[in-house]
Every structure is written in structure tokens, then in C-alpha cells.
Amino acid sequence: MRGDLPVGLAAASGDPPVEWRASSGAVPYPVAVEVMTTRATAIAAGRARELVWLLEHPALYSAGTSARAQDLIEPRFPVFTTGRGGQFTYHGPGQRVAYVMLDLKRRTPDVRRLVATLEEWIIRTLRTFGVNSERREDRVGVWVPLGTEGREDKIAAIGIRVRRFVTLHGISLNVDPDLEHFKGIVPCGVSNPRYGTTSLAKLGCSVTIREVDVALRREFELLFGKTESVPGDPPELGSTIAAAAR
């Protein structure tokens, strides 16, 4: 466990709260990346507030900057190459994705601390539902020990990019996705048979996406600072879709 890393990435006193938005429909992956890029540029220039954007994607695989071709076993769904760190992962219905756009110039420009804090955010959220999970020294993400022969399953993935001191991408938490779809890839490059993939539903936790969102927001504020709920999609989403239609 990486217990030695400090956690917490609060903004400076007096900074505006982080904008907190949740999209109701499935957002195509390329559209989400374009929205993040546009928003991060505006944050870096001081024209927009920081943002946490909660959403789901249609079923897809994304390949991070360390992805290896041999880890794509069966391309059941579209595959998107992306600028986040990490390797292959699956996104789809039943998985809560939280894209986190924070200005590290106003916080702590320490990427290791950022990753540790994102992991802690997930761990505390899962604890709300009675799930004990842990971080690992050699594997980014959040893992649930199964207590038998060293087996443990991954329940949440983390992949980030930092551009002009603003973060992009974020976390994905398995609430109730179809876990069979992870078999089309080597998730995050971890092929050891002792390590699998799990979800809140598989662990016997019958919770809704909405309940997960409430817990995520509460624990986020304890680690990162105040948020302000803003209904609807990020405004950049509408302009991105309109531009693609022209």
C-alpha cells in the first residue's frame, strides 16, 4: 500500500467552489475529450471555473499512453487512443466516470499527491457502502482484497493528464457494469490471474448511480474543497456537438 503518500488537495482560501455537473445521457468518448480539452484551456487562462463532470459512456475501450497492442485481446467495442496515462480500460453503462479538471497552480502541483488523493477519494466513497478497498504500490487504482490466496479485484481505475497545470480525465468506478466486457482487454496491463475486476453490484451492494454521486461529492469536498452543483451538461458539450454536426 502507498500509505506514505500525503492526501488532500484543497484550493486556496477564497477560491470559487468547483463546478459540479452530472450528464444524464451517455456521452461519446471523443466528445467528452473535446469538452475536457476546451474547459481545461479556459481554466488555465482564468476564463472558467474548475469542474468535476460525472457521466457514463457507451461501451468502448480506451488506450492510454502506455497501452500495449497485445493487451487488446478482442476489440468488441470501438477503441479510442487517448492522452491520459495508463493502458487499456473499459468504459460503459453502469460505470460512473468522474472527469476532474482542477488547476494545480492554485492547489499543490504534485502529480503523485493528486493520484493518491483521487485514490483516497474512491476509498472513502466505497467505505460509505461498507466496502473496504486499498491502494497498491505497484498498481494504480483501487483494489478490493478477497482474503483468499492473495486474490484481489480492481473496482476503480484512475487515468490522468496534466496540461498547463490543469488536470484532465480522472476516475471510473464500477457500480454495475457488465464485467464480461473487461475480458476483451488486459485491464490496465495487469495480467496476473490473482487480480480480477469487480463492481459494487458483484460485491452485493445494491446502490444507484445517484447514491454513488452523493457519496462522491461529500468525500470530494473533504479532500479537495467546496463544490457548487450546477444542473445540466457543461456548456462546452453543446458547442462541441453543434460543431461536429456542421
188 is catalytic: yes
Q: What pLDDT does residue 3 have?
A: 53
pLDDT at residue 53 is higher than 60: yes
DSSP 79-137: EEE-SSSSSEEEE-TTEEEEEEE-BGGGS---HHHHHHHHHHHHHHHHHHTT---B--S
Question: Which tens digit of pLDDT belongs to each residue from 99-110?
Answer: 999 999 999 999
pLDDT at residue 224 is higher than 60: yes
- Percent residues over pLDDT 90 in the chain: 82
pLDDT at residue 4 is higher than 70: no
The C-alpha atoms of residue 16 and residue 129 are separated, in whole angstroms, by 30
Question: Which tens digit of pLDDT belongs to each residue from 112-134?
Answer: 999 999 999 999 999 999 999 99
Q: Where are the domains of the chain?
A: 18-245
pLDDT at residue 81 is higher than 80: yes
The C-alpha cell 487480480 sits at 195
Q: What pLDDT does residue 1 have?
A: 45
Please compute the mean of the pLDDT values over residues 39-45 and round it to a whole number. Answer: 97
Please compute the mean of the pLDDT values over residues 24-33 and round it to a whole number. Answer: 96
Please compute the mean of the pLDDT values over residues 43-56 and round it to a whole number. Answer: 98
Q: What pLDDT does residue 246 have?
A: 59
Mean pLDDT, the chain, as a whole number? 93
The C-alpha atoms of residue 73 and residue 165 are separated, in whole angstroms, by 35
Q: What pLDDT does residue 27 have?
A: 97
- Write out the H or E segment, with its range, that includes residue 210: helix 209-224
Question: Which tens digit of pLDDT belongs to each residue from 129-156?
Answer: 999 999 988 788 899 999 877 899 999 9
The C-alpha atoms of residue 216 and residue 46 are separated, in whole angstroms, by 26
Catalytic site residue from 27, 157, 188, 212: 188
The C-alpha atoms of residue 43 and residue 4 are separated, in whole angstroms, by 31
CATH 3.40.50.150 fits 18-245, yes or no: no
